[in-house]
Amino acid sequence: MRRKYPVGIESFYDIRTGGYVYVDKTKYIYDLVDSGMYYFLSRPRRFGKSLLLSTMEEYFSGNRELFKGLAIDELDSEWKSYPVLRLNLNGSITTEGKLNAILDYHLRRWEKTYGLDQPASGEIDIRFSSCIEAAYEQTGEKVVVLVDEYEQPITDTLDNPELNQKHRDILRGFYSCLKPLNRYLKFVFMTGVSKIGKLSVFSSLNNIQDISLWDKYDDICGISETELVEYFSEDIDILAAKHHIESQSLKSQLRELYDGYHFSSNGVGVYNPFSLLYSFKSQKLGHYWFASGTPTLLVNLIHDYSLSLESVFDGYVATQHELDYIDSIRQSPIALMYQTGYLTIQSYDRTSDSYTLGFPNREVEEGFMLFLKQYYWPRTYDRSLPFEATRFVSDLNSGNIAGFIDRLSSFLSSCPYDIVLDREKHFQNVLFILCRLCGLSVHAEYRTSSGRIDMLIETASHRYVFEFKIDQSAQVAMDQIRSKEYALPFASDDKKTTLIGINLSTKTRTIDDYCVESLENSQEVL
Protein backbone atom coordinates (compact mmCIF):
# COMPACT_ATOMS: atom_id res chain seq x y z
CA MET A 1 0.00 0.00 0.00
CA ARG A 2 1.37 3.37 -1.02
CA ARG A 3 2.07 5.77 1.81
CA LYS A 4 -0.04 8.91 2.23
CA TYR A 5 1.78 12.21 2.78
CA PRO A 6 -0.02 15.10 4.49
CA VAL A 7 0.99 17.82 2.03
CA GLY A 8 -1.07 20.90 2.86
CA ILE A 9 -3.06 19.07 5.59
CA GLU A 10 -2.97 21.02 8.86
CA SER A 11 -5.47 18.97 10.86
CA PHE A 12 -3.99 16.50 13.34
CA TYR A 13 -7.34 14.69 13.43
CA ASP A 14 -7.38 14.25 9.64
CA ILE A 15 -3.79 13.02 9.58
CA ARG A 16 -4.30 10.45 12.34
CA THR A 17 -7.67 9.17 11.14
CA GLY A 18 -6.78 9.34 7.47
CA GLY A 19 -3.71 7.12 7.66
CA TYR A 20 -1.20 9.82 6.73
CA VAL A 21 2.45 9.79 7.74
CA TYR A 22 2.93 11.70 11.00
CA VAL A 23 6.29 12.70 12.44
CA ASP A 24 5.79 12.57 16.21
CA LYS A 25 6.33 15.97 17.85
CA THR A 26 4.15 15.29 20.89
CA LYS A 27 7.05 15.04 23.34
CA TYR A 28 7.60 18.78 22.83
CA ILE A 29 3.98 19.55 23.63
CA TYR A 30 4.21 17.64 26.90
CA ASP A 31 7.45 19.42 27.78
CA LEU A 32 5.93 22.84 27.10
CA VAL A 33 2.85 22.15 29.19
CA ASP A 34 4.91 20.65 31.99
CA SER A 35 7.37 23.55 32.22
CA GLY A 36 5.40 26.73 31.50
CA MET A 37 2.22 28.49 30.51
CA TYR A 38 2.72 31.36 28.01
CA TYR A 39 4.67 30.72 24.80
CA PHE A 40 5.43 32.25 21.44
CA LEU A 41 7.00 30.47 18.44
CA SER A 42 8.12 31.99 15.15
CA ARG A 43 8.68 29.78 12.10
CA PRO A 44 8.50 30.26 8.31
CA ARG A 45 5.33 29.56 6.38
CA ARG A 46 4.45 25.94 5.59
CA PHE A 47 6.67 24.64 8.36
CA GLY A 48 3.99 22.94 10.43
CA LYS A 49 2.92 25.67 12.85
CA SER A 50 -0.79 25.15 12.19
CA LEU A 51 -0.41 21.38 12.55
CA LEU A 52 1.37 21.93 15.86
CA LEU A 53 -1.55 24.02 17.15
CA SER A 54 -4.04 21.46 15.84
CA THR A 55 -2.17 18.76 17.74
CA MET A 56 -2.30 20.88 20.89
CA GLU A 57 -6.02 21.43 20.40
CA GLU A 58 -6.72 17.70 20.20
CA TYR A 59 -4.45 17.01 23.18
CA PHE A 60 -6.11 19.56 25.43
CA SER A 61 -9.53 18.36 24.26
CA GLY A 62 -8.64 14.98 25.76
CA ASN A 63 -8.86 13.00 22.50
CA ARG A 64 -6.44 10.34 23.70
CA GLU A 65 -7.38 7.81 21.02
CA LEU A 66 -5.69 10.04 18.42
CA PHE A 67 -2.39 9.81 20.30
CA LYS A 68 -2.12 6.04 20.65
CA GLY A 69 1.45 4.98 19.97
CA LEU A 70 2.84 8.53 20.22
CA ALA A 71 5.28 9.79 22.83
CA ILE A 72 2.77 11.86 24.79
CA ASP A 73 0.49 8.85 25.31
CA GLU A 74 3.08 7.37 27.66
CA LEU A 75 4.20 10.66 29.18
CA ASP A 76 0.76 11.88 30.28
CA SER A 77 -1.17 9.66 32.67
CA GLU A 78 -3.96 12.16 33.42
CA TRP A 79 -5.49 13.11 30.04
CA LYS A 80 -7.94 15.75 31.19
CA SER A 81 -10.14 17.76 28.85
CA TYR A 82 -9.94 21.56 28.82
CA PRO A 83 -11.94 24.22 26.98
CA VAL A 84 -9.91 25.38 23.96
CA LEU A 85 -10.25 28.77 22.26
CA ARG A 86 -8.36 28.62 18.98
CA LEU A 87 -7.95 31.69 16.78
CA ASN A 88 -6.52 31.64 13.25
CA LEU A 89 -5.60 34.98 11.68
CA ASN A 90 -4.13 33.51 8.51
CA GLY A 91 -5.24 35.07 5.24
CA SER A 92 -5.17 38.47 3.59
CA ILE A 93 -6.25 41.11 6.10
CA THR A 94 -5.54 44.30 4.19
CA THR A 95 -8.83 46.20 4.25
CA GLU A 96 -10.49 48.41 6.84
CA GLY A 97 -12.78 46.46 9.15
CA LYS A 98 -11.76 42.94 8.09
CA LEU A 99 -9.78 42.26 11.26
CA ASN A 100 -12.72 43.27 13.45
CA ALA A 101 -15.00 41.04 11.36
CA ILE A 102 -12.72 38.01 11.83
CA LEU A 103 -12.43 38.56 15.57
CA ASP A 104 -16.19 39.07 15.83
CA TYR A 105 -16.77 35.77 14.01
CA HIS A 106 -14.63 33.81 16.48
CA LEU A 107 -16.08 35.62 19.48
CA ARG A 108 -19.63 34.81 18.37
CA ARG A 109 -18.73 31.10 18.10
CA TRP A 110 -17.25 31.07 21.59
CA GLU A 111 -20.12 33.09 23.03
CA LYS A 112 -22.60 30.61 21.61
CA THR A 113 -20.60 27.61 22.86
CA TYR A 114 -20.37 28.91 26.41
CA GLY A 115 -23.85 30.38 26.76
CA LEU A 116 -23.20 34.06 26.19
CA ASP A 117 -26.14 34.74 23.91
CA GLN A 118 -25.79 38.46 24.41
CA PRO A 119 -22.25 39.84 24.25
CA ALA A 120 -21.24 41.55 27.48
CA SER A 121 -19.95 44.56 25.56
CA GLY A 122 -19.20 45.68 22.04
CA GLU A 123 -15.49 45.92 22.87
CA ILE A 124 -13.66 42.85 21.57
CA ASP A 125 -11.24 42.67 24.51
CA ILE A 126 -14.12 42.62 27.00
CA ARG A 127 -15.97 40.02 24.93
CA PHE A 128 -12.81 37.89 24.78
CA SER A 129 -12.42 38.14 28.56
CA SER A 130 -16.06 37.16 29.03
CA CYS A 131 -15.60 34.09 26.81
CA ILE A 132 -12.61 32.92 28.86
CA GLU A 133 -14.44 33.44 32.15
CA ALA A 134 -17.59 31.70 30.86
CA ALA A 135 -15.59 28.73 29.54
CA TYR A 136 -13.93 28.31 32.92
CA GLU A 137 -17.16 28.64 34.90
CA GLN A 138 -19.11 26.28 32.64
CA THR A 139 -16.52 23.49 32.50
CA GLY A 140 -14.75 23.92 35.81
CA GLU A 141 -11.42 23.67 33.99
CA LYS A 142 -8.88 26.30 33.05
CA VAL A 143 -8.89 27.58 29.47
CA VAL A 144 -6.40 26.95 26.68
CA VAL A 145 -5.83 29.78 24.16
CA LEU A 146 -4.16 28.96 20.83
CA VAL A 147 -3.46 31.72 18.30
CA ASP A 148 -2.20 30.94 14.77
CA GLU A 149 -0.49 33.66 12.67
CA TYR A 150 -1.02 36.21 15.44
CA GLU A 151 0.74 38.97 13.52
CA GLN A 152 -0.74 38.52 10.03
CA PRO A 153 -2.93 41.66 10.16
CA ILE A 154 0.17 43.70 10.98
CA THR A 155 2.62 42.27 8.45
CA ASP A 156 -0.08 42.44 5.76
CA THR A 157 -0.29 46.21 6.22
CA LEU A 158 3.34 47.22 6.68
CA ASP A 159 3.00 49.38 3.58
CA ASN A 160 -0.14 51.08 4.94
CA PRO A 161 0.99 52.91 8.13
CA GLU A 162 -2.47 54.17 9.10
CA LEU A 163 -4.23 50.78 8.85
CA ASN A 164 -1.17 49.08 10.31
CA GLN A 165 -1.42 51.19 13.46
CA LYS A 166 -5.14 50.44 13.75
CA HIS A 167 -4.42 46.71 13.56
CA ARG A 168 -1.70 47.05 16.20
CA ASP A 169 -4.09 48.86 18.52
CA ILE A 170 -6.83 46.25 18.02
CA LEU A 171 -4.52 43.29 18.64
CA ARG A 172 -2.79 44.98 21.58
CA GLY A 173 -6.15 45.35 23.30
CA PHE A 174 -7.23 41.84 22.34
CA TYR A 175 -4.09 40.08 23.58
CA SER A 176 -3.56 42.27 26.65
CA CYS A 177 -6.67 40.93 28.36
CA LEU A 178 -4.96 37.56 28.86
CA LYS A 179 -2.63 38.49 31.70
CA PRO A 180 -5.32 39.71 34.14
CA LEU A 181 -7.15 36.41 33.51
CA ASN A 182 -4.17 34.30 34.51
CA ARG A 183 -6.16 32.33 37.13
CA TYR A 184 -8.60 31.17 34.43
CA LEU A 185 -5.90 30.03 31.99
CA LYS A 186 -4.15 26.69 31.63
CA PHE A 187 -1.97 27.32 28.58
CA VAL A 188 -1.41 30.05 25.98
CA PHE A 189 0.49 29.41 22.75
CA MET A 190 0.92 31.85 19.86
CA THR A 191 2.61 31.30 16.53
CA GLY A 192 3.52 33.49 13.62
CA VAL A 193 6.00 33.97 10.81
CA SER A 194 7.23 37.40 11.86
CA LYS A 195 7.88 38.76 15.31
CA ILE A 196 6.38 42.17 15.90
CA GLY A 197 7.99 44.24 18.64
CA LYS A 198 6.73 43.04 22.02
CA LEU A 199 6.22 46.53 23.31
CA SER A 200 4.01 47.21 20.31
CA VAL A 201 1.64 44.24 20.57
CA PHE A 202 2.29 42.44 23.85
CA SER A 203 2.51 45.55 26.01
CA SER A 204 0.79 43.86 28.93
CA LEU A 205 1.61 40.25 28.12
CA ASN A 206 5.22 40.56 29.25
CA ASN A 207 5.37 37.07 30.72
CA ILE A 208 5.25 35.28 27.37
CA GLN A 209 8.28 33.09 26.62
CA ASP A 210 9.67 33.38 23.10
CA ILE A 211 11.05 29.91 22.30
CA SER A 212 11.88 30.69 18.65
CA LEU A 213 15.66 30.64 19.24
CA TRP A 214 15.76 27.95 21.94
CA ASP A 215 18.01 25.00 21.09
CA LYS A 216 15.70 22.42 22.66
CA TYR A 217 12.83 23.37 20.35
CA ASP A 218 14.87 23.76 17.17
CA ASP A 219 13.01 20.93 15.43
CA ILE A 220 9.58 21.35 17.02
CA CYS A 221 8.53 22.13 13.45
CA GLY A 222 10.20 20.68 10.39
CA ILE A 223 12.00 17.34 10.05
CA SER A 224 15.42 16.56 11.50
CA GLU A 225 17.99 14.21 9.98
CA THR A 226 17.19 11.64 12.67
CA GLU A 227 13.49 11.84 11.85
CA LEU A 228 14.22 11.53 8.14
CA VAL A 229 15.95 8.22 8.73
CA GLU A 230 13.36 7.00 11.26
CA TYR A 231 10.23 7.81 9.27
CA PHE A 232 11.25 7.95 5.61
CA SER A 233 13.99 5.39 4.90
CA GLU A 234 11.59 3.30 2.81
CA ASP A 235 10.41 6.38 0.93
CA ILE A 236 14.00 7.31 0.12
CA ASP A 237 14.65 3.80 -1.25
CA ILE A 238 11.55 3.98 -3.45
CA LEU A 239 12.36 7.44 -4.80
CA ALA A 240 15.99 6.46 -5.40
CA ALA A 241 14.94 3.38 -7.35
CA LYS A 242 12.59 5.46 -9.48
CA HIS A 243 15.45 7.80 -10.42
CA HIS A 244 17.91 4.90 -10.87
CA ILE A 245 20.37 6.09 -8.25
CA GLU A 246 21.66 4.79 -4.92
CA SER A 247 19.67 5.64 -1.80
CA GLN A 248 22.67 7.41 -0.30
CA SER A 249 22.95 9.60 -3.37
CA LEU A 250 19.24 10.44 -3.15
CA LYS A 251 19.67 11.37 0.53
CA SER A 252 22.50 13.71 -0.44
CA GLN A 253 20.27 15.40 -3.00
CA LEU A 254 17.45 15.77 -0.47
CA ARG A 255 19.89 17.27 2.02
CA GLU A 256 21.27 19.72 -0.54
CA LEU A 257 17.80 20.78 -1.68
CA TYR A 258 15.71 20.87 1.51
CA ASP A 259 17.92 20.67 4.63
CA GLY A 260 19.91 23.41 6.32
CA TYR A 261 17.44 25.37 8.43
CA HIS A 262 18.78 26.37 11.85
CA PHE A 263 16.64 28.28 14.31
CA SER A 264 19.14 28.59 17.15
CA SER A 265 22.86 28.93 17.72
CA ASN A 266 23.46 25.26 18.53
CA GLY A 267 20.33 23.45 17.41
CA VAL A 268 20.00 20.62 14.91
CA GLY A 269 19.51 21.21 11.22
CA VAL A 270 15.97 20.92 9.92
CA TYR A 271 14.50 19.90 6.56
CA ASN A 272 11.69 21.91 5.04
CA PRO A 273 8.74 19.56 5.68
CA PHE A 274 6.59 20.89 2.84
CA SER A 275 9.20 20.32 0.13
CA LEU A 276 10.37 17.01 1.57
CA LEU A 277 6.88 15.51 1.77
CA TYR A 278 5.96 16.93 -1.62
CA SER A 279 8.99 15.28 -3.21
CA PHE A 280 7.93 11.88 -1.81
CA LYS A 281 4.34 12.41 -2.91
CA SER A 282 5.16 13.59 -6.44
CA GLN A 283 8.18 11.27 -6.80
CA LYS A 284 10.13 14.23 -8.11
CA LEU A 285 12.68 16.66 -6.69
CA GLY A 286 11.62 20.26 -7.23
CA HIS A 287 11.29 23.75 -5.77
CA TYR A 288 8.00 23.18 -3.99
CA TRP A 289 8.19 25.49 -0.99
CA PHE A 290 9.51 28.43 -2.94
CA ALA A 291 6.90 28.02 -5.66
CA SER A 292 4.13 28.17 -3.05
CA GLY A 293 4.47 31.92 -2.62
CA THR A 294 7.02 34.70 -2.05
CA PRO A 295 6.14 38.14 -0.65
CA THR A 296 6.51 40.94 -3.17
CA LEU A 297 7.14 43.17 -0.15
CA LEU A 298 10.53 41.48 0.18
CA VAL A 299 11.72 42.56 -3.26
CA ASN A 300 10.32 46.05 -2.72
CA LEU A 301 12.34 46.33 0.47
CA ILE A 302 15.51 45.19 -1.33
CA HIS A 303 14.90 47.95 -3.88
CA ASP A 304 14.11 50.59 -1.29
CA TYR A 305 17.11 49.88 0.88
CA SER A 306 19.62 49.24 -1.85
CA LEU A 307 20.56 46.02 -0.09
CA SER A 308 23.70 44.39 -1.44
CA LEU A 309 22.61 41.05 -2.84
CA GLU A 310 26.07 39.63 -2.31
CA SER A 311 25.67 40.09 1.44
CA VAL A 312 22.54 37.95 1.16
CA PHE A 313 24.16 35.26 -0.98
CA ASP A 314 27.53 35.11 0.76
CA GLY A 315 26.68 35.66 4.41
CA TYR A 316 25.05 38.51 6.31
CA VAL A 317 26.07 39.26 9.91
CA ALA A 318 23.12 40.24 12.10
CA THR A 319 22.47 40.81 15.78
CA GLN A 320 19.75 38.97 17.64
CA HIS A 321 17.80 42.21 17.79
CA GLU A 322 17.77 42.32 13.97
CA LEU A 323 16.43 38.77 13.84
CA ASP A 324 13.79 39.30 16.47
CA TYR A 325 11.39 41.96 15.37
CA ILE A 326 9.76 43.71 12.45
CA ASP A 327 8.21 47.00 13.48
CA SER A 328 7.75 48.98 10.28
CA ILE A 329 8.19 49.11 6.53
CA ARG A 330 11.31 51.17 7.21
CA GLN A 331 13.17 48.22 8.69
CA SER A 332 15.89 46.35 6.83
CA PRO A 333 14.66 43.39 4.76
CA ILE A 334 17.12 41.08 6.52
CA ALA A 335 14.79 40.41 9.46
CA LEU A 336 11.94 39.69 7.08
CA MET A 337 14.11 37.35 5.00
CA TYR A 338 15.16 35.43 8.10
CA GLN A 339 11.71 35.18 9.63
CA THR A 340 10.08 34.12 6.37
CA GLY A 341 12.64 31.36 5.80
CA TYR A 342 14.75 32.76 2.97
CA LEU A 343 17.75 33.08 5.26
CA THR A 344 18.74 30.93 8.20
CA ILE A 345 21.42 30.83 10.89
CA GLN A 346 24.73 29.53 9.55
CA SER A 347 26.91 30.26 12.57
CA TYR A 348 26.99 32.16 15.85
CA ASP A 349 29.78 34.31 17.31
CA ARG A 350 29.56 34.46 21.11
CA THR A 351 32.12 37.25 21.34
CA SER A 352 30.05 39.70 19.32
CA ASP A 353 26.72 37.99 20.04
CA SER A 354 26.02 37.99 16.32
CA TYR A 355 24.71 35.51 13.76
CA THR A 356 25.89 34.87 10.23
CA LEU A 357 22.92 34.27 7.97
CA GLY A 358 22.74 32.53 4.62
CA PHE A 359 20.45 30.54 2.37
CA PRO A 360 19.51 27.25 4.01
CA ASN A 361 19.67 25.14 0.87
CA ARG A 362 19.75 25.03 -2.92
CA GLU A 363 15.97 25.17 -3.32
CA VAL A 364 15.79 28.55 -1.59
CA GLU A 365 18.95 30.02 -3.15
CA GLU A 366 18.02 29.07 -6.71
CA GLY A 367 14.39 29.97 -6.18
CA PHE A 368 15.28 33.36 -4.76
CA MET A 369 17.59 34.10 -7.65
CA LEU A 370 14.89 33.22 -10.19
CA PHE A 371 12.37 35.25 -8.20
CA LEU A 372 14.62 38.30 -8.32
CA LYS A 373 15.20 37.73 -12.02
CA GLN A 374 11.62 38.56 -12.90
CA TYR A 375 12.10 42.00 -11.35
CA TYR A 376 15.56 42.78 -12.73
CA TRP A 377 15.80 40.75 -15.92
CA PRO A 378 14.68 42.06 -19.32
CA ARG A 379 11.81 39.93 -20.57
CA THR A 380 13.39 39.89 -24.00
CA TYR A 381 16.22 37.84 -22.51
CA ASP A 382 14.05 35.15 -20.93
CA ARG A 383 14.18 32.68 -23.78
CA SER A 384 17.71 33.53 -24.82
CA LEU A 385 19.27 33.23 -21.34
CA PRO A 386 21.52 30.20 -22.11
CA PHE A 387 22.78 31.82 -25.34
CA GLU A 388 23.30 35.26 -23.80
CA ALA A 389 24.98 33.79 -20.73
CA THR A 390 27.42 31.95 -22.97
CA ARG A 391 28.27 35.16 -24.81
CA PHE A 392 28.82 37.15 -21.61
CA VAL A 393 31.09 34.45 -20.22
CA SER A 394 32.96 34.09 -23.51
CA ASP A 395 33.66 37.84 -23.62
CA LEU A 396 35.16 37.83 -20.14
CA ASN A 397 37.11 34.60 -20.64
CA SER A 398 38.73 35.99 -23.78
CA GLY A 399 39.27 39.52 -22.47
CA ASN A 400 36.85 41.03 -25.00
CA ILE A 401 35.93 44.03 -22.85
CA ALA A 402 34.41 46.06 -25.66
CA GLY A 403 32.08 43.19 -26.52
CA PHE A 404 31.16 42.69 -22.86
CA ILE A 405 30.40 46.40 -22.34
CA ASP A 406 28.33 46.59 -25.52
CA ARG A 407 26.36 43.53 -24.49
CA LEU A 408 25.93 44.88 -20.94
CA SER A 409 24.75 48.26 -22.26
CA SER A 410 22.13 46.56 -24.41
CA PHE A 411 21.08 44.43 -21.45
CA LEU A 412 20.67 47.45 -19.13
CA SER A 413 18.68 49.45 -21.66
CA SER A 414 16.22 46.54 -21.84
CA CYS A 415 15.76 46.22 -18.07
CA PRO A 416 12.25 46.79 -16.65
CA TYR A 417 11.55 50.49 -16.37
CA ASP A 418 10.68 50.28 -12.68
CA ILE A 419 14.24 49.20 -11.91
CA VAL A 420 15.72 52.53 -10.94
CA LEU A 421 19.35 52.70 -12.00
CA ASP A 422 20.03 55.96 -10.15
CA ARG A 423 21.97 54.35 -7.34
CA GLU A 424 25.15 52.32 -7.66
CA LYS A 425 23.68 49.59 -5.49
CA HIS A 426 20.83 49.00 -7.91
CA PHE A 427 23.26 48.65 -10.78
CA GLN A 428 25.47 46.39 -8.70
CA ASN A 429 22.51 44.14 -7.98
CA VAL A 430 21.52 43.91 -11.64
CA LEU A 431 25.08 43.02 -12.63
CA PHE A 432 25.42 40.65 -9.67
CA ILE A 433 22.29 38.71 -10.71
CA LEU A 434 23.49 38.64 -14.32
CA CYS A 435 26.88 37.21 -13.31
CA ARG A 436 25.40 34.64 -10.94
CA LEU A 437 22.96 33.43 -13.57
CA CYS A 438 25.89 33.15 -15.97
CA GLY A 439 27.82 31.05 -13.46
CA LEU A 440 30.58 33.64 -12.96
CA SER A 441 32.49 34.27 -9.74
CA VAL A 442 31.37 37.72 -8.61
CA HIS A 443 31.88 39.83 -5.48
CA ALA A 444 30.22 43.15 -4.71
CA GLU A 445 31.77 45.67 -2.32
CA TYR A 446 34.99 43.65 -2.21
CA ARG A 447 37.06 44.83 0.75
CA THR A 448 40.66 46.00 0.40
CA SER A 449 42.94 47.77 2.88
CA SER A 450 42.09 51.14 1.31
CA GLY A 451 38.41 50.77 0.52
CA ARG A 452 35.81 48.66 -1.24
CA ILE A 453 35.83 47.63 -4.88
CA ASP A 454 32.34 48.09 -6.33
CA MET A 455 32.52 44.76 -8.09
CA LEU A 456 35.09 42.03 -8.72
CA ILE A 457 34.46 39.43 -11.42
CA GLU A 458 36.83 36.49 -11.95
CA THR A 459 37.26 33.79 -14.56
CA ALA A 460 39.89 31.05 -14.70
CA SER A 461 42.45 33.41 -16.27
CA HIS A 462 41.06 36.95 -15.87
CA ARG A 463 40.12 39.30 -13.05
CA TYR A 464 38.04 42.45 -13.58
CA VAL A 465 37.96 45.33 -11.11
CA PHE A 466 34.90 47.57 -11.59
CA GLU A 467 34.12 51.01 -10.21
CA PHE A 468 30.73 52.58 -11.04
CA LYS A 469 29.61 56.21 -11.11
CA ILE A 470 26.23 57.76 -11.76
CA ASP A 471 26.02 60.84 -14.02
CA GLN A 472 29.70 61.67 -13.58
CA SER A 473 32.37 60.20 -15.86
CA ALA A 474 34.25 56.99 -16.39
CA GLN A 475 37.49 58.87 -15.76
CA VAL A 476 36.32 59.76 -12.24
CA ALA A 477 35.69 56.06 -11.64
CA MET A 478 39.13 55.11 -12.97
CA ASP A 479 40.81 57.80 -10.89
CA GLN A 480 39.24 56.28 -7.78
CA ILE A 481 40.54 52.82 -8.71
CA ARG A 482 44.03 54.27 -9.02
CA SER A 483 43.97 56.52 -5.95
CA LYS A 484 42.59 53.75 -3.74
CA GLU A 485 45.02 51.21 -5.26
CA TYR A 486 42.25 48.66 -5.68
CA ALA A 487 44.46 46.51 -7.89
CA LEU A 488 47.36 46.31 -5.43
CA PRO A 489 46.21 43.05 -3.72
CA PHE A 490 46.37 41.30 -7.11
CA ALA A 491 49.71 42.64 -8.32
CA SER A 492 51.58 39.36 -7.90
CA ASP A 493 48.74 37.14 -9.05
CA ASP A 494 48.97 34.98 -12.18
CA LYS A 495 45.58 36.13 -13.45
CA LYS A 496 45.40 39.01 -15.86
CA THR A 497 43.84 41.95 -13.98
CA THR A 498 41.83 44.57 -15.85
CA LEU A 499 40.53 47.80 -14.34
CA ILE A 500 37.20 49.11 -15.63
CA GLY A 501 35.63 52.47 -14.77
CA ILE A 502 31.98 52.82 -15.80
CA ASN A 503 29.63 55.80 -15.79
CA LEU A 504 25.90 55.27 -15.94
CA SER A 505 23.41 57.78 -17.26
CA THR A 506 20.06 58.14 -15.50
CA LYS A 507 18.68 59.62 -18.75
CA THR A 508 19.60 56.74 -21.06
CA ARG A 509 19.42 54.15 -18.24
CA THR A 510 22.57 52.47 -19.47
CA ILE A 511 26.35 52.90 -19.81
CA ASP A 512 27.40 56.10 -21.52
CA ASP A 513 31.15 56.05 -20.87
CA TYR A 514 33.82 53.60 -19.77
CA CYS A 515 37.60 53.36 -19.29
CA VAL A 516 39.71 50.21 -19.40
CA GLU A 517 43.22 49.70 -18.12
CA SER A 518 45.27 46.52 -18.00
CA LEU A 519 47.85 46.06 -15.26
CA GLU A 520 50.12 44.50 -17.83
CA ASN A 521 50.37 47.37 -20.28
CA SER A 522 48.92 50.31 -18.30
CA GLN A 523 47.28 51.51 -21.51
CA GLU A 524 43.99 53.31 -21.10
CA VAL A 525 41.31 52.72 -23.70
CA LEU A 526 38.24 54.89 -24.22
Residues of the chain with CATH 3.40.50: 12-214
Lowest-confidence pick of 13-17, 67-71, 243-247, 386-390: 386-390
Sequence-ordered strand ranges (E) for 166-315: 185-192, 209-210, 223-224, 270-271
Report d(CA 197, CA 301) in Å as an integer: 19
**What fold, for 12-214?**
Rossmann fold (3.40.50)
Q: Is the pLDDT of residue 329 over 50?
A: no
DSSP 184: G
Tell me the mean pLDDT in the region 40-67: 96
CB 112 within 8 A of CB 135: no
Tell me the mean pLDDT in the region 31-35: 96
Q: Is the pLDDT of residue 328 over 80?
A: no
Cβ-Cβ contacts under 8 Å for 186 (sequence gap 6 or more)? 37, 60, 82, 141, 142, 143, 144
Torsion (CA) 464, 469, 471, 474 in degrees, nearest 10: -50
Q: Is the pLDDT of residue 332 over 70?
A: no
In the sheet that 38-42 helps form, which strands lie side by side, from edge to edge? 84-88, 143-148, 185-192, 38-42, 209-210
**What fold, for 377-525?**
Trna Endonuclease; Chain: A, domain 1 (3.40.1350)
What does R_g of the chain's alpha carbons equal in angstroms?
27
The residue type found at 518 is S
The predicted pLDDT at position 417 comes to: 57
Q: Residue 108, Cα to own-chain centre: how many angstroms?
A: 35
Q: Is the pLDDT of residue 525 over 60?
A: no
CB 494 within 8 A of CB 466: no
Residues of the chain with CATH 3.40.1350: 377-525
Tell me the mean pLDDT in the region 476-497: 90
Give the pTM.
Answer: 0.85
Distances (CA, A) of 331 to 121, 298, 325, 334, 335: 37, 11, 9, 8, 8
Three-state DSSP at 259 gives coil
Report d(CA 292, CA 223) in Å as an integer: 19
